Structure formats: structure tokens, C-alpha cells
């Protein structure tokens, strides 16, 4: 069996209201699917993160179809590690020229698709190929709460079984604190309230906000500083006892190692659709486990990548809560013909061969962007 084709599918869904984060606004939700086809008629699907900037879908199509495709045609898709190493060797230095995140996200989409093929060929789910024994019920935290009514939105998800919710900050400090306070009051003391700053602060601002947040007992404070501000993280840990979380913008083992060596991070957050796929994300999770830390995978995309991340958790010890995007973006779920089961705030690992999912081509074709 050999790889015969590699395709990128860009999907776009307009948002009724812009989604505002500390680093900018999103007016559309973009999703990037990667299809790896073989000469045996078996294909695999993966996902590559294309959230921001808005033109990421243009770059990713070129990277995958003009860069990776010629490299991989004729390769054995079942040699997942060998193909990963070939992609990484060819593209690692190029990442310095135009962006490590873009390169590793492209590799990640292909890697997930290769694992999907391997599972289909063997008739086993990916988690079993990765050493997992059984599907899992993964506890989720809800993110993407209604910004116009945060407290009620948080309470509604708790009433649906979620035991953790996340509040985004990094806008106006007084308003941010009022939002965290209102959510804490709405959900009570027994629900975890996670706080995500999306890299909004310098060290002085992060120290100030961490002190102000302390009365609300955050489960963690996520990405208070820019991801590569390692000196800042090293200093911040001496100013707060709130657990710090980061890792969605660490794109490989080297990045994760440098972050963990600061001693600041209590929760590592690798994203398979950004950090080289399941292959590299597993290695990043192992770093956390070696240090006695928990990992909480990041995924802010479609349910293709969500399924992949659930397989990662089912096969890799040490997971904490998993992100579940609950903002209005129906395409996130409708890319799949059968939704991933979520019960009482927990996601159930798909149990079919490979990713255990079936694409909904009607929805995909309706939202495909022709670049």
C-alpha cells in the first residue's frame, strides 16, 4: 500500500457575532481537514489547526499540497513514525522561515490521517494502536460561553453535567474580574472555574491579575504570558499559587521541554492539530508524566480533531479535563455523520476502526472554500 494523494479541505462558517479573544477577533470559524488517499482505496482524515490568522487556510493548502504532498507520494502510510520523521526532517528548518506553528500544524493533520488509515487497515481504533485498552469517558470543561450572559451560560452547562467551565479574560481588568466572580457565584464552589488569558499580559500584569483572581479559586490560570516568554513564566511562579497551564502554542517536544523546565507549569496543554499530530503530542504528554504533572489536551477545531484527541487521552495516562468548545458553530459537529457522544459532561471515545468517525460530505461540500 502506498500514498497516492494528499488533499487539504478548507471549511468556513460565518459567525453571527465576532468571537473576541485577547489577541484579536474572529469573524468566521475556519476548519482544515487533511485527506490522505492510498492506492488500496483506503483513505484517512486528519485535522490541522487554522483558527488564526484568517488567511491561515490559504497558507495551509499550499504547505500541504505543494510542500508535503510531493514528499509523501509513494510512501508507506502504515509506517507512521517513518513518514513523520521524513516530514519533520524536510520541514523543520523551513519552519524558521515562515512559522514553526504552521509547519507543525500541517504535519499534525497528515499524522492524524495516517493513524486513521492504520486503524482502518488493522480494524482497530487508534487508541488501541497507541496502547490503550478501552474507550474512555473523558471529563470536559466548557469553553466559549455566551459572553453576553456568562453566568447563566456557565450555569446551564453545569446543569447539563459539566463539572468545569472556562472564562476568557485579557480585555479589561475590572470587567474580567467581574466576569470571573459572576461565574464563580453562578456555579458554586464545587465546580472548577478555569481562567484563560490568551497570552494577554506582560509579567507585571500577570502578577497583578493572578493576585486579583485568587479569591475566586481558579482551577488554573492559562497562558497569562506569551508562550515563548519562558523567563516570565519562571518569574511568575514565584508570585502566585494559582496553578498555571500552557502548551497549546508549544509545537513540539523541544518547545514543551523548555516550558516545563521553567518549573512554572502544572498543566501541559498539547494540541495534536498544532503540535505534529498524535505522534508528537504523545511524546509531549510523556514529558508531563515524567515530571508528575497532568496534561489537558487543547483542541479548538472540528470534531475530527476532537475525536483524535479523545483517542490520545484513551491511550495516554495522566489526562485532566479536556476542552469542549460550546460556542455557536454548528459545522464543528456537522462535519461528522454521527456526533461524538457526550454524556453528563464527559465525551466517549469513538470505538470504530481508526478515528471511528464518518465524514458528512454534504456539510463539508456546503462549507468548502475553493482557494
pLDDT at 334: 98
Considering the chain, what is the average pLDDT of its residues?
96
Listed residue (265, 262, 355, 235) closest to 305, CA to CA? 355
Dihedral sign, CA of 101, 106, 110, 113? positive
| Mean predicted confidence (pLDDT) in 175-194 | 98
Domain boundaries, the chain: 3-123+365-369, 128-359
CATH superfamily of 128-359: Enolase-like C-terminal domain (3.20.20.120)
The whole model's pTM is what? 0.97
Q: What is the pLDDT of residues 96-142, one digit of tens each?
A: 777 899 999 999 999 999 999 999 999 999 999 999 999 999 999 99
Q: 1 with 39: CB under 8 angstroms?
A: yes
Fold of 3-123+365-369: Enolase-like; domain 1 (3.30.390)
- Report the alpha-carbon distance of residue 256 to residue 250 in Å, rounded: 6
C-alpha cell at 75: 510512501
Q: Is the pLDDT of residue 23 over 70?
A: no
Amino acid at each position: 500500500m502506498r500514498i497516492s494523494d494528499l488533499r487539504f479541505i478548507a471549511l468556513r462558517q460565518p459567525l453571527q457575532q465576532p468571537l473576541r479573544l485577547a489577541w484579536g477577533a474572529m469573524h468566521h470559524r475556519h476548519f482544515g481537514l487533511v485527506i490522505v488517499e492510498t492506492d488500496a482505496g483506503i483513505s484517512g482524515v486528519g485535522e490541522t489547526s487554522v483558527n488564526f490568522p484568517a488567511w491561515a487556510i490559504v497558507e495551509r493548502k499550499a504547505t500541504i499540497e505543494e510542500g508535503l504532498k510531493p514528499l509523501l507520494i509513494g510512501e508507506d502510510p502504515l509506517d507512521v513514525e517513518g513518514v513523520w520523521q521524513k516530514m519533520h526532517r524536510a520541514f523543520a528548518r523551513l519552519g524558521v522561515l515562515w512559522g514553526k506553528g504552521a509547519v507543525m500544524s500541517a504535519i499534525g493533520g497528515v499524522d492524524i490521517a495516517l493513524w486513521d488509515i492504520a486503524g482502518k487497515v488493522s480494524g482497530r481504533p487508534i487508541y488501541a494502536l497507541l496502547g490503550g485498552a478501552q474507550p474512555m469517558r473523558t471529563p470536559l470543561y466548557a469553553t466559549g460561553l455566551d459572553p453576553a450572559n456568562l453566568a447563566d451560560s456557565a450555569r446551564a452547562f453545569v446543569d447539563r453535567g459539566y463539572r468545569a467551565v472556562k472564562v476568557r479574560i485579557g480585555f479589561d481588568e475590572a470587567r474580567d474580574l467581574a466576569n470571573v466572580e459572576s461565574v464563580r457565584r453562578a456555579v458554586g464552589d464545587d465546580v472548577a472555574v478555569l481562567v484563560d488569558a490568551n497570552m494577554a499580559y506582560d509579567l507585571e500584569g500577570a502578577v497583578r491579575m493572578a493576585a486579583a483572581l485568587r479569591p475566586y479559586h481558579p482551577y488554573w490560570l492559562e497562558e497569562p504570558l506569551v508562550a515563548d516568554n519562558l523567563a516570565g513564566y519562571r518569574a511568575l511562579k514565584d508570585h502566585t499559587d494559582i496553578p498555571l497551564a500552557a502548551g497549546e502554542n508549544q509545537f513540539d517536544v523541544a518547545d514543551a521541554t523548555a516550558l516545563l523546565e521553567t518549573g512554572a507549569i502544572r498543566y501541559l496543554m498539547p494540541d495534536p492539530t498544532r503540535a505534529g499530530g498524535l505522534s508528537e503530542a504523545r511524546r509531549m504528554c510523556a514529558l508531563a508524566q515524567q515530571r508528575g504533572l497532568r496534561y489537558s489536551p487543547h483542541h479548538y477545531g472540528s470534531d475530527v480533531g476532537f475525536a483524535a484527541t479523545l483517542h490520545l487521552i484513551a491511550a495516554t495516562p495522566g489526562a485532566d479535563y479536556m476542552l469542549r468548545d460550546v460556542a455557536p458553530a454548528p459545522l464543528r459537529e456537522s462535519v461528522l455523520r454521527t456526533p461524538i457522544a457526550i454524556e453528563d459532561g464527559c465525551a466517549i471515545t469513538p470505538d470504530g476502526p481508526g478515528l471511528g468517525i464518518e465524514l458528512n460530505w454534504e456539510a463539508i461540500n456546503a462549507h468548502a472554500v475553493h482557494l
